[in-house]
Amino acid sequence: MKKLKPVHAIFLLSTFGVVSLGVAPLFRPLEIVTPAEAASIPKIGDLSSYRKIVVDTASMVEKGDLVRAKIRIKDLEISWDEAEPSLKPRSPAEWHTIDKAIDRALSNLRASDPDAAACNQSLSELLQLMDVAGGKP
């Protein structure tokens, strides 16, 4: 049996933990996208397919069809979730901002008594964030 020095393992892990905690305050990801950058190829990748779903959903809400809007936005939830490993590393801060906005839109549309105005509001905010990150199609 090999000679075990568990103290080393414990020490190494603790050091790693402390270093990680120590540098935590230095990294508050804040990425500002300038309009010039947004106009060129978007850093996060092609968002047009997600944008289209948001536009569809918003127009259903506009017509007062919250039931179909709720069904349509599930397409966004699934496709956005599927592409996470591809999109997130390219622009983590933007990805998180959009992800949160999608969560808000989802919970508004899935409320037991959905409020059309709130749905509209969260969808237009989402659209705006996508346009900033992905450039208008």
Contacts of 86 (CB under 8 A, 6+ apart): 45
Does residue 23 touch another protein according to CB under 8 A?
yes
Cα–Cα dist 6/134, whole Å: 49
* Contact range with another protein by CB under 8 A, out of 34-42, 52-60, 83-91, 111-119: 83-91
Instruction: State the Cα torsion 40-43-48-51 to the nearest 10°.
Output: -110
Task: Measure CA of the first residue to CA of the last residue in the chain; give whole Å.
Answer: 64
Does residue 31 touch another protein according to CB under 8 A?
no
Q: Which is nearer to another protein, 5 or 36 (CB)?
A: 5
Binding another protein (rule: CB under 8 A), the pick from 33, 83, 116, 118 is: 83
Does residue 21 touch another protein according to CB under 8 A?
yes
Does residue 137 touch another protein according to CB under 8 A?
no
